[in-house]
Amino acid sequence: MVLDGRNDLVDGTIELGDHRTVGFATYGSPEGIPVIWCHGGPGSRKDPVHRDREAARAGLLLVGIDRPGYGMSTPLPGRTIADWIPDALAVVDELGVDRFVAIGESTGGAYALALGALVPKRSLGVVACCSLTDMRCEEARSTMSRPHCHAVWDAADRRSALSAAVDAHGVGGSNMTADGLGDALAPSDVALFRDPEWAQQAKAAFPAMFAQGLVGYTDDRLADGGGWVTFDVRSIVCPVTVLHGEEDRMCDVINAHHTAEIVPDARLALYEELGHFSIETKLIPAVQELLTR
């Protein structure tokens, strides 16, 4: 599929050696510095669409990748955070990319940091944006949503976990609207949801997010519930920025403080009036700043 009338951008799939399919899409400048975009939970390869034109102006190529169970990517029950790294590398290899920056939003922060830790020679830098920290940090863990996170983490098995995820998000993500999210949105997030262009792009991307129901989200939560045990952030040598809105009501800023403490030489960038979604306006500048270090 051609995006925005430009035939040098792609929206498609690749098949892996184990016969799983991985969906991906590109945005921004086709000749730009590659940036792997690790989407939120729930999310999809289409999450970077809001930053398409900004990335093009900044000379960045954004590569969104569906994690297993999202969009067009085959589910992988029992997957860990580290298990996703070969999927990401298969996509960038398909695109002929050698080195890259990794952005991780919310749930995706762990996957971006795992790239930095496990693929150091190819990682130019990492931006973890409004991201969950290592859930072995009890202080941060205690701030996470009971229905969205703890109910899934505490479920007896994957089937029960999936049921809990559906209860929290609604069938097909029906609760994932401005009205459904309610008090979980900061005022700056509410303003973003009311922006006609942003809302139109979000509506177009929504079907990919829940194309397979809550399977991807459930496996995300089961992967991060035990903490960052399949990679070690202390081994990261590339520049890291931990970006967070202090008004984030979905992922408390305590997560950012903890991540900045455990990642070597991480730069903590906090924005007083921004929330979980509105912080995205700072992502491209954060990448540009990171590349100067």
Q: What is the CATH number of the domain that holds 171?
A: 3.40.50.1820
SS3 120: coil
What totals of helices (H) and strands (E) does the chain contain, helices first?
12, 8
pLDDT of residue 179: 75
Residue 5 lies in a domain: no
- The yes-or-no verdict on residue 224 having pLDDT over 70 is yes
Residue 1 lies in a domain: no
Residue 223 lies in a domain: yes
- The yes-or-no verdict on residue 2 having pLDDT over 70 is no
Q: How confident is the model at residue 9 (pLDDT cuts 50, 70, 90)?
A: confident
**Total domains in the fold of the chain:** 1
Question: How do strand 267-271 and strand 240-245 relate by DSSP bridges?
Answer: parallel
pLDDT of residue 18: 93
Residue 4 lies in a domain: no
Quick one: average pLDDT of 7-36? Answer: 93
Residue 212 lies in a domain: yes
Please name the residue that has the structure tokens 């559906």: 166
Q: What distance in Å separates the CA atoms of residue 93 and residue 235, rounded to the nearest whole number?
A: 23
Structure tokens belonging to residue 179: 């009205």
pLDDT tens, residue by residue, 163-195: 999 999 999 988 887 677 888 899 999 999 999
Please state whether 33 falls in left (phi above 0), alpha (psi between -120 and 50) or beta: beta
pLDDT of residue 4: 47
pLDDT of residue 183: 86
Q: CA 29 → CA 6, 32, 92, 104, 148, distances in Å?
A: 10, 5, 15, 19, 35
Q: For all residues of the chain together, what is the average pLDDT?
A: 95
Are 123 and 98 in contact by the 8 Å Cβ rule? The answer is: no
Quick one: average pLDDT of 89-108? Answer: 97
Quick one: average pLDDT of 10-36? Answer: 96
Q: How confident is the model at residue 1 (pLDDT cuts 50, 70, 90)?
A: very low
pLDDT of residue 7: 56
Closest CA relative to residue 253, chosen from 149, 160, 132: 132
pLDDT tens, residue by residue, 140-157: 999 999 999 999 999 999
Q: Which domain holds residue 155?
A: 11-290
Residue 6 lies in a domain: no
Residue type present at position 122: R
pLDDT of residue 177: 75
- The yes-or-no verdict on residue 22 having pLDDT over 70 is yes
Q: CA 204 → CA 9, 36, 197, 198, 207, distances in Å?
A: 17, 21, 11, 10, 7
Segment holding 243, helix H or strand E: strand 240-245
Burial class (CB in 10 A: 0-12, 13-18, 19+), 65: buried
pLDDT of residue 6: 54
Q: How confident is the model at residue 5 (pLDDT cuts 50, 70, 90)?
A: very low
Residue 62 lies in a domain: yes
- The yes-or-no verdict on residue 236 having pLDDT over 50 is yes
CA terminus-to-terminus distance, the chain: 36
pLDDT of residue 3: 46
Burial class (CB in 10 A: 0-12, 13-18, 19+), 204: exposed
